[in-house]
Amino acid sequence: MIDAFHVLFDWHLLMLLVLGTGLGIVIGAIPGLTATMLIALTLPLTFHMEPVAAITLLIGEYVGGISGGLITAILLRMPGTPASIVTTFDGYPMARSGRAERAIALGIMASVAGGLVSWMFLAGMSPALARFALQFGPWEYFTLVLMALVMLAALTQGSLVKGLLAAVLGMAFALPGIDNSVGRARLTFDTDFLLSGFGLLPVLIGAFAISQILRDAAAPPLKKIEVPKGRLPIHMRDLRTHGPNMLRSSLIGTWVGLLPGIGGNIAALVSYTTSKQLSRDPAKFGTGHEPGIVAGETANNAAIGGALIPLITMGIPGSVTEAILIGALTIHQLQPGPLLFQNSPEIAYGIIAAYFLANIVMLVLMWGAVRWIAQLVRIPKAGLLGVILMFCVLGSYAANSSFNDVWVMIGFGLVGLGLEAVRVPLGPFVIGFVLSPIAEEQLRASLMLSDGDWLALFDRPWAILFLILSLATLAWPPMAARLSARRRQI
């Protein structure tokens, strides 16, 4: 770990960290542009970087992107990122009552606190979990991926059927191309276009950036924004006043972040609800109450650290952004999971160290430049979207110097737009696409080791546990609905 910090103190890497965090804050502060979109868009630029430099830039963007969302959530009641939705509940009323500076100061303090507490869990748990995960074989990994997909489908936007449909659709789009195990083409429909399958990068850029651009182009322009003019008022006594809330919300955020597919927005909502239930003045929540801002902003940042734990220890993404980070690692020929600590410790510990430093950089940048960052929402949307669209095309083309990838990007942009139009979540779709090759590889390895005997799965206790959890996740929503209906009848 000390070596990782020592490496990151190289001026080149520090500059990338500051650049990534700054870019993340800027994009996170603009409603409609998310950290996920920024990371997908930046991925092609990292092709020729050293892996440590690439991951440092992306982690900075992730932390900055989640934190920057609080600015417009408070000033405009428009969260720059979905993770800041809860911040609008009390942040905007505070801004309307003339306390915007205080609300932003509390949001920044809470974001840093959540990030640093979850970093302690990330640094403390990850090496031990990775050593534990080394005991896993192909059956365990296959059932673990299956469990992640099922939990993601069940917990995303509350619709199990639509979530499962999105995951299966994403897995189906990963099938065309050469089957590496037998060396034959499959689902190519005798066309050269599909022979190499759909590339990860154009799919990610299309599904998130292009569909977002199309939605934003149709949205109304932003209203005029009033930016903070004075110093951000925060004092040491605020740490004592809000300390218990920040600690509790950090633990909730880290725990929720650990679970696949839930993300910072649910973490913030759970934390906000818990704080309201435990408060002596629950009626004040939603009217500009300081603990409401602290609870939401602490939890959504803590969820990042929590979600990074399964990513680097088992190669399982906790959210779409982690799925893109897994894509970034595989592009650099790195294997996410427990072997990452064994084969590439500089990357595993580098992610942990970069996450810590990104929180410090985020604090400095947001504290010093919040009034100028807030002005960014005044940039004409047409010009901004045009520049982003240009980067999308260049990024997709640069991957293989092929216009086919640009067409794939456009096609998946339309697919993403269509899915969201019928309220099918994009998260399970993209994670299904990313995890499908891993699940297929592990299943093939499992069957080869057992001579095609499926019953061999039942000799593996952890695989059975993951399978039971998957089935329980599937069974719980209809059971809960039936129990709820029975209570209403009583």
Kindly indicate the confidence band of residue 31, based on its pLDDT and cuts at 50, 70 and 90.
low
Taking the chain, what is the end-to-end CA distance rounded to the nearest angstrom?
Answer: 57
Q: Give the dihedral sign, CA 408/414/416/419.
A: negative
Please report whether residue 236 resides in a domain.
yes
The pLDDT assigned to 374 comes to 66
The pLDDT assigned to 231 comes to 64
The pLDDT assigned to 164 comes to 81
Cα–Cα separations (whole angstroms), residue 427 to 201, 261, 344, 432:
15, 7, 28, 8
The pLDDT assigned to 62 comes to 86
Phi, psi of 185 (to 5 degrees): -80, 145
The pLDDT assigned to 32 comes to 62
Residue 187 corresponds to which tokens in the numbers above? 């689902």
Kindly indicate the confidence band of residue 82, based on its pLDDT and cuts at 50, 70 and 90.
low
Please report whether residue 483 resides in a domain.
no
Is residue 341 scored above 60 in pLDDT? yes
The pLDDT assigned to 240 comes to 83
Pick the closest to residue 306 from 166, 174, 115, 481 (CA basis): 115
The pLDDT assigned to 236 comes to 77
pLDDT mean across residues, the chain: 79
Is residue 11 scored above 70 in pLDDT? yes
SS3 424: coil
Lowest mean pLDDT among 50-64, 290-304, 392-406: 392-406
Please report whether residue 488 resides in a domain.
no
Please report whether residue 482 resides in a domain.
no
Pick the closest to residue 87 from 335, 310, 338, 269 (CA basis): 269
Pick the closest to residue 215 from 10, 43, 48, 388 (CA basis): 388
Q: Report angle CA 328, 116, 316 to the nearest 5 degrees.
A: 35
Residue 368 lies in domain: 1-477
Please report whether residue 485 resides in a domain.
no
The pLDDT assigned to 488 comes to 67
CA distance 272 to 478: 26
Number of domains comprising the chain: 1
Residue 389 corresponds to which tokens in the numbers above? 């669209």
Q: Is 224 left (phi over 0), alpha (psi -120 to 50) or beta?
A: beta
Please report whether residue 306 resides in a domain.
yes
CA distance 399 to 232: 43
Which residue did the predictor score with more confidence, 448 or 86? 448
Kindly indicate the confidence band of residue 185, based on its pLDDT and cuts at 50, 70 and 90.
confident
The pLDDT assigned to 260 comes to 62
The pLDDT assigned to 226 comes to 59
The pLDDT assigned to 157 comes to 54
CA distance 303 to 264: 5
Q: Of all residues in the chain, what percent carry a pLDDT higher than 70?
A: 87
Please report whether residue 457 resides in a domain.
yes
The pLDDT assigned to 223 comes to 57
Could you read off the pLDDT of 189-240 as tens digits, one per residue? 878 777 878 887 788 778 877 877 787 777 666 555 555 565 666 777 878 8
Could you read off the pLDDT of 111-156 as tens digits, one per residue? 889 889 999 988 888 878 777 777 778 888 888 888 877 776 666 6
Helix residue spans in 134-159 (DSSP H): 138-155
Phi, psi of 38 (to 5 degrees): -60, -45
The pLDDT assigned to 177 comes to 83
Cβ neighbours for 419, distance < 8 A, ≥ 6 positions apart: 166, 169, 425, 426, 429
Is residue 94 scored above 80 in pLDDT? yes
The pLDDT assigned to 381 comes to 67
Please report whether residue 196 resides in a domain.
yes
